[in-house]
Structure 1
Amino acid sequence: MKNNTQISVIVPVYNEDEIIERVITNLKRVMRNAKYRYEIVVVNDGSTDRSGEILKNIKGIRIINHQENKGYGASLKSGIKESKGKWNLIMDADGTYAPEDIPKILRYMDEYDMVVGARIGEKVDIPLTRRPIKYFFNRFASYLAGSEIPDLNSGLRIFKRDIVMRYWKLFPDRFSFTSTLTMLSMTNDHKVKFVPISYHKRVGKSTIHPVKDTLRFFTLLVRLTLYFNPLKVFAPLSAIILFLSIVRGIRDFLVTDHIGNLALMLLFIGFQALFFGLLADIINKRT
């Protein structure tokens, strides 16, 4: 039978029994009013509360059950793999994203490969403790990608399914999935649009681990950049080391009338870093 689904809406769920029914109800209402044929795929990621029981009683959705908690990224990958639509729309189930913002991103989907709901609208409830870190990562990601990224890891976005399938092995099973998707799209010349949306205080307990997930984000950004644009890392690293070498060499010459081993070693390391960056860039362009 021919598949006529245009958009597969994927909702990962882990212990959201306080809000999941309301989220799905509002989501179905918004999608019914859209002009696209759609399906809703809900991935129950090993919930230990009543989420699974509640989902069984909701009509008009497809449910994928994980026997154990595999992670946010793993849930999205399960949903994407089983999805039927050319487009995948993802949305969290914790009440932070409003389904009413979905038409804002659907408006641009025919012009772009991915449309991201950027949490820069008028009503954005992001804890003050997370804002500096979020700002740093957005700025750092913008530098690495060479384009402005106002929201690196928004959980409300629509994208062409084949983008994820093309880079399937690069996507992690945890919270870095959306960050990976953003960086992959931006560094591979896919057309990306960021649309301001609202963001609300989540219902229930957060499953994010601030320190551990922050370190993972940083490592991920560097790893992806080394993979797709290595000179963005190696060039400034080389410049810093060479600068330190020159400063140390001048100091040595003024104090001892000769250049010491440390200055020479830094000079060697600086040029070596630049060489590795150029080599990695050549290999990247040929693959």
Structure 2
Amino acid sequence: MSKYTLVIPAKNEYEHLGGVIYTLQKNVENQSIKIIVVNDGSTDNTSNLCEKYNVIEIKHNYSKGNGAAIKTGLRNVDTEHVILMDADGQHNPDEIKKLIKKYEEGYDMVIGARSRNDHASLFRKYANIIYNKLTTWIVGHKVKDLTSGFRVANTEKMREFIELYPNGFSYPTTSTIAFFRAGYTVGYERINVEKRRGEVGSHINLWKDGVRFFIIIFKIGVLYSPMKIFFPLSMAHILIGVLYYLYTFINDGRFTNMSALLLSNAVMIFLIGLVAEQITMLIYRK
């Protein structure tokens, strides 16, 4: 009986998915791994490929997003452990055994950590460095790769937070933060990645990716400990408000409305952070 199920979200990845599945099935050590391909509204021959290699296919009638495909896969896993990886040929299936070996040392999740010499664009490299450093500060543990989609985890623990996972591409961030927040053990294993293929990831939209970058940064803090984000913002408003008051008092001998606004904003930001902290505690009450 299989101990592991491999979930691969796929949208129009026919050219690369066949090589991934073939490599998995020819590896004797991985014969006991059940494979689920979540076909996220593909318009290519992904279904024929799944039939050819005799793997389980779960189809979305239309594209719901990478995260939604992962959630569908998780809901259909019936083994104790789950492996998640991309279908675009970026992840080497032969490295699954490295992740499993590390995972079986007693971790709740092991993430494949990419090196800085991978094939990501310069923008994404620097973004990932900032993600990792910021998250390390927030959670108090070394985070080597926050956004890697190649990981092994306990199935039930992954499903605990399934409602938190977005339907888009930031489920790795959310799941990593959720595991740290819940007190589960997270490990890393160094992996090599191939150049990202196809149109996905080949172009960088500075506006779209820049906004997504800051949203993820904010989400990291709010998911783990909102006060680590809101408290510094509150203190910044207090400092600016006091300094502006001193400036106007020395120059004009009065207390201005702007100073009052800054100080009142500081109180509001602090209270919002406090409420968010309580909500976060309820989310992770288990």
- Whole-Å separation in 1 of the counterparts to 2:120 and 2:137: 23
- Whole-Å separation in 2 of the counterparts to 1:77 and 1:189: 22
How far apart are residue 253 of structure 1 and its match?
A: 1.8
Q: TM (normalized to structure 2)?
A: 0.88
Match of residue 206, structure 1, among 187, 200, 205: 200
Alignment match, 2:149: 155
- Whole-Å separation in 2 of the counterparts to 1:266 and 1:243: 9
Residue type at the aligned position of 1:198: N
- Whole-Å separation in 2 of the counterparts to 1:226 and 1:157: 23
Alignment match, 2:269: 273
Alignment match, 1:143: 137
Is 1:237 aligned with 2:236? no
Closer/same/farther in 2, CA of residues 46 and 207 from structure 1, 3 Å limit: farther
Residues 70-111 of structure 1 show CA distances to partners (whole Å, capped at 9, x for unaligned) of 111111111111111111101111111111221221112131
Quick check: 1:150–1:194 contact (8 Å CA) kept in 2? yes
Residues 112-156 of structure 1 show CA distances to partners (whole Å, capped at 9, x for unaligned) of 1100001127x5221223222222222333333333322111011
Of 179-188 and 272-281, deviating more is: 272-281
SS at match of 2:168: coil
Residues 149-186 of structure 1 show CA distances to partners (whole Å, capped at 9, x for unaligned) of 22111011011111222122111111111111111112
Alignment match, 1:113: 108
How far apart are residue 244 of structure 1 and its match?
A: 0.5
Alignment match, 2:165: 171
Of 140-149 and 152-161, deviating more is: 140-149
Closer/same/farther in 2, CA of residues 236 and 203 from structure 1, 3 Å limit: same
Is 1:5 aligned with 2:7? no
Alignment match, 1:215: 211
How far apart are residue 227 of structure 1 and its match?
A: 4.7
- Whole-Å separation in 2 of the counterparts to 1:241 and 1:81: 45
Note the residue ranges of structure 2 that are not aligned, 5 or more in a row.
none
How far apart are residue 273 of structure 1 and its match?
A: 2.0
Quick check: 2:85–2:151 contact (8 Å CA) kept in 1? yes
- Whole-Å separation in 2 of the counterparts to 1:200 and 1:249: 56
Quick check: 1:184–1:224 contact (8 Å CA) kept in 2? no
Note the residue ranges of structure 1 that are not aligned, 5 or more in a row.
none
What is the RMSD computed on CA atoms of the aligned residues?
A: 2.3
Closer/same/farther in 2, CA of residues 115 and 53 from structure 1, 3 Å limit: same
Alignment match, 2:95: 101
Quick check: 2:6–2:36 contact (8 Å CA) kept in 1? yes
- Whole-Å separation in 2 of the counterparts to 1:217 and 1:127: 14
- Whole-Å separation in 2 of the counterparts to 1:137 and 1:10: 25
Residues 161-218 of structure 1 show CA distances to partners (whole Å, capped at 9, x for unaligned) of 1122212211111111111111111222110001111111123221687443553453
- Whole-Å separation in 2 of the counterparts to 1:251 and 1:62: 69
- Whole-Å separation in 2 of the counterparts to 1:162 and 1:181: 13
How far apart are residue 6 of structure 1 and its match?
A: 1.3
Closer/same/farther in 2, CA of residues 87 and 24 from structure 1, 3 Å limit: same
SS at match of 2:152: strand
Is 1:49 aligned with 2:13? no
Quick check: 1:137–1:218 contact (8 Å CA) kept in 2? no
Residue type at the aligned position of 2:249: F
SS at match of 1:130: helix
SS at match of 1:158: strand
Closer/same/farther in 2, CA of residues 164 and 271 from structure 1, 3 Å limit: same
Quick check: 2:120–2:196 contact (8 Å CA) kept in 1? no
- Whole-Å separation in 2 of the counterparts to 1:70 and 1:261: 48
Q: TM (normalized to structure 1)?
A: 0.88
Quick check: 1:18–1:203 contact (8 Å CA) kept in 2? no
Quick check: 1:249–1:260 contact (8 Å CA) kept in 2? yes
Alignment match, 1:183: 177
Closer/same/farther in 2, CA of residues 88 and 128 from structure 1, 3 Å limit: same
Quick check: 1:117–1:197 contact (8 Å CA) kept in 2? yes
Quick check: 2:135–2:220 contact (8 Å CA) kept in 1? no
How far apart are residue 277 of structure 1 and its match?
A: 2.4
Closer/same/farther in 2, CA of residues 136 and 275 from structure 1, 3 Å limit: same
Quick check: 2:139–2:224 contact (8 Å CA) kept in 1? no
Residue type at the aligned position of 1:117: G
Is 1:257 aligned with 2:250? no
How do residues 54-65 of structure 1 correspond to structure 2 at under 5 angstroms? 54-59=49-54, 61-65=55-59
